[in-house]
Amino acid sequence: MTSPKTLLKAWNLRPKKKLGQHFLVDPSTSETIIRRSKITSNDSVVEIGAGLGALTIPLAKVARHVYAVEADSQLTQLLKNELLVHKLTNVEIIEKNILRVDIHSLAQKPDRPLIVMGNLPYNISSQVLVQLIHSRSIVKRAILMFQKELARRITASPGNKEYGRLTVMLSYCSEIRSIATLAASLFYPAPKVDSEVVEIDFNISRQYPSHDESILFQVIKAAFGNRRKTLKNALAISDLHIDPRIARQALEAASIDPTRRAETLNVSEFISLQISLAKILKSQ
């Protein structure tokens, strides 16, 4: 593997700070990530931010097919050349921002869900996670590199100040485990913080009471929209436009103290709140 610095210099390119570009410099790191991700020859993988191909090339040697998503048109030309050098024909380059990619259109068969991989820029990490949550019917797993700060947020427990909307949504529909910690020195240019590689497994089965998922996510968003306020007040001033009296009634019906704050509720409590709120609003 040619070093990122050498490759970029040869193509007269520089890393783009606004795109959060940090390229892996150690081939063994890519191999470790792919091995721990347990990618097989049956898997179709969507790679977010293919960059210079540090992950794309070893991934294509293992996976059935790779959709390499890269927004930087200058890098896609370089990547095409690298794929030719390595004689890889099972990679389809998609020159788009991942947030504008219809992931469902990439799933060729219902019985062959996608795996998503990539090093996410901090400024779009939350949006990508929400996108994956809503696409989980065709995405069975995601193996993603985050800045450690965000990795801590999505794995936080109730009562922790880092526990938030994303934490609850992911806890509701996935299991998360860390598979690697990457020092900043493993990237060029080196970021200011270390990174964490986490696996998000959407291929789980959990039993919850019957509820409306879309409304549940709205309730979670409303509760954390003003996380310093009590749940009663946070719900009342949210986009849900709930009367404070109804907010209190719904919380009490769900056996939740109205003076608690969003960060203290677990997934089951949020579901109970959504169910009780729906019943009250339906009876109005």
Residue 153: its H or E element: helix 148-154
Mean pLDDT of 80-92: 96
Q: Is the dihedral of CA 32, 177, 138, 153 positive or negative?
A: negative
pLDDT of residue 204: 87
Mean pLDDT of 155-184: 95
Summarize pLDDT for 100-135 with one digit per residue, the tens.
Answer: 999 998 987 666 789 999 998 888 999 999 999 999
pLDDT of residue 146: 93
pTM to 2 decimal places = 0.92
pLDDT of residue 107: 84
In the chain the domains, ranked by start, together with CATH numbers, are 4-201 (3.40.50.150), 213-283 (1.10.8.100)
Q: Please provide the average confidence, as pLDDT, over all residues in the chain.
A: 94
Give me the helix-helix angle, 244-253 and 267-283, nearest 10°: 120
Pairing of strands 114-119, 65-69: unpaired
Summarize pLDDT for 3-35 with one digit per residue, the tens.
Answer: 899 999 999 999 998 888 999 998 999 999 999
DSSP 105: G
pLDDT of residue 109: 62
